[in-house]
Amino acid sequence: MSVDESLPALEPLRVTVVAQVTTPVTQAVVAELRRGAMQVEIGSADVLDGAPDTPVYVVSVDPATGAPLADRLVAWAAGCELRPGLIALIENGTGSDAESMLAAGFDDVALAPVSTREVAARVRAVHRRVHWKGVPNGRLRFGELTLDLYGRALWFRGKTISLTSIELAVLRELIKARGRPLSRIALLDRAWGEEDLEVSERAVDNVILRLRRKLPEPDVIETVRSVGFRLASW
């Protein structure tokens, strides 16, 4: 079972940058994304009024006042038929702020000051994760799990579970492993992509924790001591 993650050659990478207040950082990010031949739209909280216009949203979040907007965006994205990828851009934030955004449901976080090229790389990585093709009906199955790659949802024992793009990517790799254990490094390489980003193994643990919280039976994902994680066999 394989998934072709290559992007269509003629499809421009489209992204929306959402900012309550335009800052030099957001302006620099927009300029870098456009230099990278991306189609960039500028948005505000008004994006919550309809369906997503682009597959990836970069959201400028003020760590002191931006939590309500971040929560609203996560809730909006989760309710979309095709859920967009969300990247938080936090100016003058801390590691704790980044962890809060990931726990809230964002797919990735960039802490400013940050290289605009790194932000562009993160956008490409998330974009790849929300564009899967080549799988019959866009679905992967293992036991009682059915993963909808297009709808970005999991079906398990009659329940539909909405997933973030990175949750989907991690679960996709576990399903493809068919019950074989995958190390944290393997999951980082396969789910996060090959971009040179500073993502630690702790990020894998955080995503596994979020998946277990969403599953009616958390033990579906087993921890293999000194190895990594696998799906329970039925």
pLDDT band at 195 (very low <50, low <70, confident <90, very high): low
Q: How far is CA 131 from CA 19, 82, 160, 216, in A?
A: 25, 11, 20, 27
pLDDT band at 198 (very low <50, low <70, confident <90, very high): low
**Whether the predicted pLDDT of 2 surpasses 70:** no
pLDDT band at 221 (very low <50, low <70, confident <90, very high): very high
Type of residue found at 112: A
85-122: per-residue pLDDT in tens? 899 999 888 888 888 888 888 889 999 888 999 999 99
pLDDT band at 1 (very low <50, low <70, confident <90, very high): very low
Please report the pLDDT score of residue 157 as a whole number. 84
All structural domains of the chain: 14-129 (3.40.50.2300), 136-231 (1.10.10.10)
124-165: per-residue pLDDT in tens? 888 877 654 445 456 788 888 988 887 788 999 888 999 988
Q: Give DSSP secondary structure letters for the chain.
A: ---B-PPPTTPPPEEEEE-SS--HHHHHHHHHHHHTT-EEEEE-GGGGGSS-SSSEEEEEE-TTT-HHHHHHHHHHHHTSSSPPEEEEEEET--HHHHHHHHHHT-SEEEEES--HHHHHHHHHHHHHHT--BSSGGGEEEETTEEEETTTTEEEETTEEEE--HHHHHHHHHHHHTTT--EEHHHHHHHHS-SS-----HHHHHHHHHHHHHHSSSGGGEEEETTTEEEEPP-
24-72: per-residue pLDDT in tens? 999 999 999 998 878 888 877 676 666 677 888 999 988 777 778 888 8
In angstroms and rounded to an integer, the radius of gyration of the C-alpha atoms of the chain is 17
Please report the pLDDT score of residue 77 as a whole number. 80
